[in-house]
Amino acid sequence: MSVLIETVTEPTAEVVAAFARLLPQLSGSAGPLDAAGLGRVLAAEAVTVLAARLDGVIAGTLTLVVVPLPTGVRAHVEDVVVDGAARGHGIGAHLVDRALALAAEAGARTVDLTSRPSREAATRLYERAGFVRRDTAVLRHPLTADAPAAPRG
């Protein structure tokens, strides 16, 4: 079985269908992503969406965000997902390797990502690729009206 990594440039029906199949495997809170929504993602200058094909079928995706900041070019990997039926073929490793190469080409000195502790296989993949755990606090501010407000005090 061969794995091919490509950059997604258009929200084709095939790509939209792949995201509809893959995103729920990543997060239960991921809403549907239609062609218009995916088009907005693909149009963002800082974003590169990669798709992995296993024998011609999209079996995984990864989103790379690269932005120039006053402190240097920063890169972040988001939304890595490999179809459960296609795991064990090195798809995640191929996606991560391509993202790291693109980040380096863009001038980033480091690439960050976060992964839930329950995703142990994903964490092992990232560590094999050279990612190291950092002693840092990840803070999130909920901007949506339905998210619980942070306590003040």
Banded model confidence at residue 150, pLDDT cuts 50, 70, 90? low
Higher-confidence residue: 32 or 69? 69
| Predicted local confidence at residue 26, as pLDDT | 87
Banded model confidence at residue 80, pLDDT cuts 50, 70, 90? very high
Whether the CB-CB separation of 85 and 121 falls below 8 Å is answered with no
Strand residue runs (E) in 9-131: 47-54, 57-69, 72-82, 111-113
The one-character DSSP state at 85 is: G
- Residues 97-142 have pLDDT tens digits of 999 999 999 999 999 999 888 888 899 999 999 999 988 888 878 8
What is the assigned CATH class of domain 3-128?
alpha beta
Q: What does the block give as tokens for 4?
A: 């091919």
Burial of 129 (0-12, 13-18, 19+ CB in 10 A): middle
Phi first, then psi: what are they for 118, rounded to 5°?
A: -70, -15
pLDDT at residue 147 tops 90: no
Within 10 Å of residue 42's Cβ, how many Cβ atoms? Answer: 17
| Predicted local confidence at residue 151, as pLDDT | 59
pLDDT at residue 78 tops 90: yes
Coil vs helix vs strand at 39: helix
Indicate the pTM of the whole model: 0.88
- Spatial strand order in the sheet of 47-54: 3-8, 47-54, 57-69, 72-82, 111-113
Q: Which amino acid is at 144?
A: T
Whether the CB-CB separation of 95 and 62 falls below 8 Å is answered with yes
